[in-house]
Amino acid sequence: MEASTTPKPLPNRPDQKMPPLPKGSRIQKRPLPAPLSHRLSSSNTSRSSTLSTIPTDIDGYRPPPRAPHTLIIKVTSNAPFMSLVKRVRKGLESRSSLSRQQSTKGLPLTARIAALDTTSGGSKEGGSGNGLGPVEDALDDVVLVATGRAIQKAVEVGCFFTRERDLMVLLRTRTVRGVDDFVRAEEEDGGGEDGSEKEEGSGARVRAVSCVEVGVRWRAT
């Protein structure tokens, strides 16, 4: 019995390509959805029930919850490099190690344990070192979120801060959905009086967009 050599499609990649656009149509891209910023509540719920409320992406990735002190920066492709560096530094300076310990008062018990473990030096490899997973990832002081051509710039900013021994940089990848509209040229020119023609020539479709999150936090001393 011969084994099947047909490669299996990736979970975040469709089996079939998108259909071609109708003749005379062009794409209008909508703005991507804002970065998810699920904040950890102060209730004494378990870690599993807290994380189960966060929706997963199309590839099964569940974004980590954010602590109240986390600063989220959306990176664009034309953003100046030094401007991003200054914004990250400003966010880190306003969230020193003392302020981080004080900010854990409003976090659930699992996040407090993760903060204590990070402070004591028990976790040196990020979110998977102590088994707390996304809860430990929630302790990032600054998070850079980038898609498309802005991914390279976000990674460069993260690499810049890896040279500082007092900081820890973590990189996470995910996939987000973007919606594109396609419209006919006749509709833009004011033509297409027939409603059926307009309804047939315009529409929307969903595409998958690669996303990178760069988390920067103070390293345990």
Tens-digit pLDDT profile for residues 111-128: 666 655 554 444 444 444
Q: Which two tokens stand for residue 88?
A: 């990250």
Tens-digit pLDDT profile for residues 174-211: 888 888 888 876 655 555 455 444 445 567 878 788 88
Q: How far apart are CA 45 and CA 112, in angstroms?
A: 13
Specify the pLDDT at position 146: 93
Residue 34's pLDDT band (boundaries 50, 70, 90)?
low
Domains of the chain and any CATH numbers: 25-45+55-218 (3.30.110.20)
Pick from 45-59, 60-74, 123-137, 203-217 the range whose average pLDDT is largest.
Answer: 203-217
Higher pLDDT, 39 or 166: 166
- Residue 94 CA, chain-centre distance (Å), reads 23
HEC assignment per residue over 107-138: CCHHHHHHHHHHHCCCCCCCCCCCCCCHHHHC
Which residues are CB-neighbours of 57 under 8 A, at least 6 positions away?
12, 63, 174, 175, 176, 177
pTM of the model: 0.61
